[in-house]
A and B are shown apart, each in its own frame.
Chain A
Amino acid sequence: MGDRSAPGPVRTLALRCADWPVVALGDRADAPVAVLDADRIVAANPAARALGVVPGLRRREAQARCPSIHLAERDEPGEARAFEVVLAELQQLAPRLEVREPGGCSLPTVGPSRYHGGDRALARLVAQRVRTALATHLGAGRVPCAVGVGIADGPRAAAIAALEDLADHAGRPEPDARGVGVVPPGATAEFLAPLPVERLGVEPPAGSTVADWDELTALLRRLGLRTIGRVAQLGAADLSARFGSLGVTAHRLATGVETEGPVLAAVPPDLRVSAAVDPPAEQVERVAFLAKALADTLHVELAGRGLACTRVLVSAETELGERIERLWRHEGALSPAAIAQRTRWQLEGWLATGRSAGRERGGIISLSLEPDQVVPDDGVQLGFWGDDGAARDRALRALARVQALAGAGSVLVPEWQGGRSPGEQYRLVPIDTVDLAARARGEDRPWPGRIPPPSPAVVEHHPRPVELVDRDGNRVEVGGRGLISAAPARCRVDGGPWSEVRAWAGPWCTDERWWDALAHRRRARVQVVLGPSGRPHPSHAEAHLLALEDRRWWLEASYD
């Protein structure tokens, strides 16, 4: 068989599921659905794409193109859980899977193809198994998820082949038997030659990012090199002189001699970190926190050697002797938070599939992390929450105990999201859904229409009704032109005692989401300073932010 003579790079099978974030939602296969991440579309189903909703659009643009579209926020743990169905199926064909992100994985083919009778047979088997698993999982009547399988000399060429395969039978729900992209050994260069140069950026190798490759391929296109074949015709020395190591990597891929790039460092021995879990953990939360601590130890060990990890082997063992191993890869480097998150995905998905299959999984008794591929750390990676190691470790351990005591959603962190009303500017999110190394900070970004600082220290989650009247006891109103009917004189909250309005300012009107009949809100806000009536000089003045909505006043926040 040919694959025995394949030189250098490892012959690899790559699997890609189209629009995995949408598929993982598990519903509405025929209606337009798209998934958003940070206000950008990241995936859309065929029905949505037919209407012009493509990844990269903003929420508003997508809604303009397709008003009936169902938009869901990205749920990475959910995607990972759903992908476990596919992984469990593939695990029966090949022992070691490498997962880059939910929706795509790869495996070395040398052993499996020999066993299953060649690359083509293996590819067909994989495609068929995955389709069957997905059809069973998604339920009858759903449009099956499109699956692309590619085999080539090296993981990146295989990924490109899988994408080509996906593009080949896009729109055809039931692919023919040919529907796999197997590139014969040694023919990678010919396979890649006619493809557009942008394909070079698929799956950036360790040490580079998607943005680096986008920049490179855009420049190559502007230089007139529109296909990968044209890049291959150039000399490696010329590309190296002009584009540095990225250019060399691109040339190697284009000519079919894929390597992991020149920047790889040797993995130091004995960097495996592991911990026993005692008593065995039935809940993922406990293991996730342990994973964070382990990831941090690993990070410190690697940082001491000037290295960062781009591929990590996460393995866990249960009390019933079962063992689950996954390789996780990340462009750039895996931060401790990212490693912990992937551990969580892996275990959650695995426990979920066990439960749905009615099998007892047992508690997890040990967890270990092993760096599989490292690159010299070029300083991109930041310490995890600063470098106050001891305080942080103690805090995280305590939070693990608190979560075990009070439930998973009980520990939250404030995250900036922006908004006009004081309650909208920050929201509380569960701590383990946040990548703690990359949190949104937005104090310096303007929000037109928000009340400038100082901000109120107490924000009412359920605004309390307020009566605000003028000197004659008539209710104060704000007209359509934003003018107040009379100066407010007295105020009372929730039917309490009346207070005198000592000073006031406003009204400031906001008209939000006027394009949306349901979410449309018109509000007028005023700031009031209250003091008890009857006393000439109050020792303490209370300041509040009141809002008028639907002709009723509410106490929105207090400047306590």
Chain B
Amino acid sequence: MSATPASDQSRSDELARLRSVVERTRPVSTADQRVLPVLGVLEDLLPGGGLQRGSVVRVRGPVGATSLAFALVAGPTRAGSWVACVGAAELGWAAAAESGVELDRLVVVRPTDSTLLGVLATLVDAFDVVVWGLSGRASNTDARRLRARARERGAVLVLVDPRRRNVGSDPWPDAADLELRGVGADWSGIGQGWGRLTSRRLVVEVAGRRGATRPRRGELLLPGPTGAPTATASPGDTGSQVDTGPQEGTGSRGDTGPQVDTVVELRGERSA
């Protein structure tokens, strides 16, 4: 079948026309096709490179759950999404701002125990991201209902579980679409009586149901030296300077003598 140039031309025209028809008549993109952008460091870690709209993301410890939650919502707030935090009495807002959260688009809601679930449902209706510190407890039905609502409205429900809990009383009995776990951490910049906490290498395990059945692991500096999450430097690159902490403070370096049995792996060794 030999195609003449003229028929080629008409065929490509036809294709272009059909494409535009497809474009116009395509159903509105469903919620799970859309993704909320996250900070660059987290893109490789998350399946789909962002927060899937309509999903439930559970962030848990044993370490770094709160920081991970801040890092997760930082991207959406920067892109113009609104975030509501429920049951978040003890969050450090300075840390949130340092990890890149636009506090202008963040509200904190403190419902009473009896109104908690109603408030959560209302917020899921309207906000792109709802962070729940698992302050109360959702029953099986409530959890399923909230999840269905999040999926319908294209909201992301982030459950934060910073403290290790006993297994018996899981406040969220339903499954999560994605689970992030901070499983390993070591701090740099601090020694035996000198330096200060400057950054933490955090090992994150990501597991989930959709597109991430096989758990993967990643590493990042969370918080990094400025508080913002940053990618880990290659091993051996220990250029960080030791800071002696607040200027007005009186350090007690040398008072206790050098300690030999340093167990924590230190990356920011004293350069001098």
Is residue B190 contacting chain A, with contact meaning CB distance below 8 A?
A: yes
Instruction: In the complex, identify which listed stretch (A45-53, A156-164, A514-522, A534-542) lies at the interface while the others stay far away.
Output: A534-542
Task: Identify the interface centre among B89, B90, B127: most chain A CB within 10 Å of its CB.
Answer: B90
Task: Identify the interface centre among B65, B190, B247: most chain A CB within 10 Å of its CB.
Answer: B190
CB–CB A487/B110 < 8 A:
no
Number of interface residues of B (CB under 8 A): 80
Is residue B233 contacting chain A, with contact meaning CB distance below 8 A?
A: no
**Known A-B contacts A402-B119, A406-B119, A487-B259; A414 and B106 likewise in contact (beta carbons under 8 Å):** yes
- Chain A residues in 8 Å Cβ range of B41: none
How far is B64's CA from A276's CA once the two chains are assembled, in angstroms? 48
**Known A-B contacts A398-B123, A406-B112, A457-B66; A450 and B245 likewise in contact (beta carbons under 8 Å):** no
**Known A-B contacts A426-B93, A531-B264; A453 and B64 likewise in contact (beta carbons under 8 Å):** no
Q: Which residue of B is nearest A414, CB measured?
A: B93
How far is B192's CA from A506's CA once the two chains are assembled, in angstroms? 9
CB–CB B197/A508 < 8 A:
no
Interface string of B142-155 (1 = CB under 8 A from A): 00000000000000
Is residue B239 contacting chain A, with contact meaning CB distance below 8 A?
A: no
Q: Which residue of A is nearest B245, CB measured?
A: A508
A505 to chain B: closest CB distance in Å?
5
How far is B186's CA from A503's CA once the two chains are assembled, in angstroms? 11
How far is B250's CA from A505's CA once the two chains are assembled, in angstroms? 11
How far is B255's CA from A277's CA once the two chains are assembled, in angstroms? 70
Task: Identify the interface centre among A402, A452, A507: most chain B CB within 10 Å of its CB.
Answer: A402
Is residue B105 contacting chain A, with contact meaning CB distance below 8 A?
A: yes
A489 to chain B: closest CB distance in Å?
10
B228 to chain A: closest CB distance in Å?
9
Please pick, from B65, B90, B186, the residue contacting A541 in the complex, using a CB distance under 8 A: B186
CB–CB A456/B126 < 8 A:
no
Is residue A279 contacting chain B, with contact meaning CB distance below 8 A?
A: no
Interface string of B100-114 (1 = CB under 8 A from A): 000111111111100
How far is B224's CA from A455's CA once the two chains are assembled, in angstroms? 11
Besides A531-B264, A542-B63, 4 other A-B contacts (C-beta < 8 A): A439-B104, A504-B193, A506-B251, A527-B197
- Chain B residues in 8 Å Cβ range of A398: 122-123, 125-127
Please pick, from B61, B105, B109, B183, the residue contacting A411 in the complex, using a CB distance under 8 A: B109
**Known A-B contacts A457-B67, A560-B63; A402 and B246 likewise in contact (beta carbons under 8 Å):** no
CB–CB A540/B184 < 8 A:
yes
How far is B62's CA from A102's CA once the two chains are assembled, in angstroms? 53
CB–CB B184/A505 < 8 A:
no
Total contacts A-B at CB 8 Å: 244
- Chain B residues in 8 Å Cβ range of A483: 250, 252, 255
- Chain B residues in 8 Å Cβ range of A216: none
Instruction: In the complex, identify which listed stretch (A16-24, A105-113, A198-206, A386-394) lies at the interface while the others stay far away.
Output: A386-394
- Chain A residues in 8 Å Cβ range of B182: 540
Please pick, from A399, A439, A506, the residue contacting B252 in the complex, using a CB distance under 8 A: A506
CB–CB A540/B183 < 8 A:
yes
Is residue A458 contacting chain B, with contact meaning CB distance below 8 A?
A: yes
A484 to chain B: closest CB distance in Å?
5
Can you sample 14 A-B contacts with CB below 8 Å?
Answer: A398-B125, A405-B122, A410-B109, A416-B97, A422-B95, A453-B226, A454-B225, A459-B92, A503-B187, A506-B251, A508-B245, A527-B196, A540-B63, A560-B64
CB–CB A559/B197 < 8 A:
yes
Is residue B58 contacting chain A, with contact meaning CB distance below 8 A?
A: no
Please pick, from A386, A482, A537, the residue contacting B104 in the complex, using a CB distance under 8 A: A386
- Chain B residues in 8 Å Cβ range of A539: 183-184
